Amino acid sequence: MFLTDFMDVLQLIYNNKLQFNIKIGEKFMEIIIGKTAGFCFGVSNAVKKTEEELKNKKNVFCLGELVHNKQVTSELQNKGLTVIDNIEKAKQNVIIRAHGEPKETYKKAEKLELDVLDLTCPKVLRIHKIAQEYANNGFYILLIGQKDHPETIGTISYCGENSAVIEKEEDIEDALNNFYVANIDKLLLIAQTTFSLEKFNNIISLITEKVNIEQIELEIKRTICDATRLRQEETKEIAKNVDVMIIIGGKHSSNTNKLYEISKKYCKASILIETKEELNVQFVKKFQKIGIMAGASTPQKSIESVVEMLN
Ligand code: SF4
């Protein structure tokens, strides 16, 4: 199908028909938009509930940016949300975002008598529960995730003192040495929900090669969330089949950066943009087949505005 009218393109996006042709200058180009592009369940729920909170209450504070997307953050700030980096700066109502928080944050909120709206994604809460249970049952826990990511910082607080974070292959040796020094014979491996599936599988196989599974009890929980897994798989499939790949999302968003990494591996002409203004149309025009994917914190309107720009 060929399209020249932007309204037709938007209609297709809404109808979930995500493969179409548009005319750019004198040339027809094929565009494929990932079905999983844009807000995941956890982010969509967090944004919706925050908007409701802002309608009903004053003095609403959010501990960190609600989502790693400047446009969404500034819209919420315009509606009255104050972003803080420390719970002690909150005055009355505080929002805990989808990434979740360390245990200590809840204790501080209670002490400060704050009204907490906890928007931690249920999938992150499930990992906290698993970590807590296994820590109570005497397991050493290795959390595979990005060390400075808020979700990892939150989750590790539920893993107890016998735990470590592995971000890359080079961290494995130290982590396993600490496990042996702790003299524990039960080991649990879990992952940050938005970690790269490929890297997770690689780290898991390296660890299973190194430990003696005859002598220890090893449990692996594949806690990368389905939304992340499907998005990464779809990114790979689209990137393999297009000439240029546009990844839309916050440059400081962990899941968007992972999509970009995957995309570059399978399509050399991959670009990461936060807004349509960053799109180099002259560069994109050189190609015939364009793939578009967006991170979990990228709103639908950012995807639409890029398609509008191309059109
Ligand atoms: S990526 Fe998955 S775990 Fe994270 S907020 Fe979205 S649905 Fe929840």
Q: CA 203 to CA 73: how far, in whole Å? A: 34
Q: What is the pLDDT of residue 172?
A: 98
Joined together, the tokens standing for residue 245 give 């790949």
- Other Cβ atoms less than 10 A from the Cβ of 212: the count is 7
Mutating to test ligand 1, I would choose from 50, 152, 192, 194 the residue with most ligand atoms within 8 A of its C-beta, which is: 194
* Minimum-distance ligand 1 atom for the alpha carbon of 227: 2
Instruction: Reduce the DSSP state of residue 187 to 3 states and report it.
Output: strand
DSSP codes joined into one string, 272-299: EESSGGG--HHHHTT-SEEEEEE-TT--
* Minimum-distance ligand 1 atom for the alpha carbon of 122: 8
Q: What is the pLDDT of residue 24?
A: 62
Write the burial class of residue 27 (CB in 10 Å: 0-12 exposed, 13-18 middle, 19+ buried).
exposed
Pick the CATH number of 2-39+227-310 from 3.90.320.10, 3.40.1010.20, 3.40.640.10, 3.20.20.70: 3.40.1010.20
The domain defined by 41-110 carries CATH number 3.40.640.10: no
Mutating to test ligand 1, I would choose from 67, 97, 123, 155 the residue with most ligand atoms within 8 A of its C-beta, which is: 123
Closest CA to 265 of 212, 197, 175: 197
Write down the domain spans for the chain.
2-39+227-310, 41-110, 123-220
Cβ 4 vs Cβ 23: under 8 Å: yes
Q: Are domains 2-39+227-310 and 41-110 of this chain identical in fold?
A: no
| Tens-level pLDDT at each residue, the chain (311 residues) | 455 555 566 666 555 546 767 666 677 889 999 999 999 999 999 999 999 999 999 999 999 999 988 889 999 999 999 999 999 999 999 999 999 999 999 999 999 999 999 999 999 999 999 999 999 999 999 999 999 999 999 999 999 999 999 999 999 999 999 999 999 999 999 999 999 999 999 999 999 999 988 899 999 999 999 999 999 999 999 999 999 999 999 988 889 999 999 999 999 999 999 999 999 988 998 899 999 999 999 999 999 999 888 87
Cβ 215 vs Cβ 185: under 8 Å: yes
* Whole-model pTM over 0.75: yes
278 is catalytic: no
Q: What is the pLDDT of residue 161?
A: 96
Task: Quickly name the fold that domain 123-220 has.
Answer: Cobalt-precorrin-4 Transmethylase; domain 1 (3.40.1010)
Q: Which residues pair with 166 in a beta bridge?
A: 144
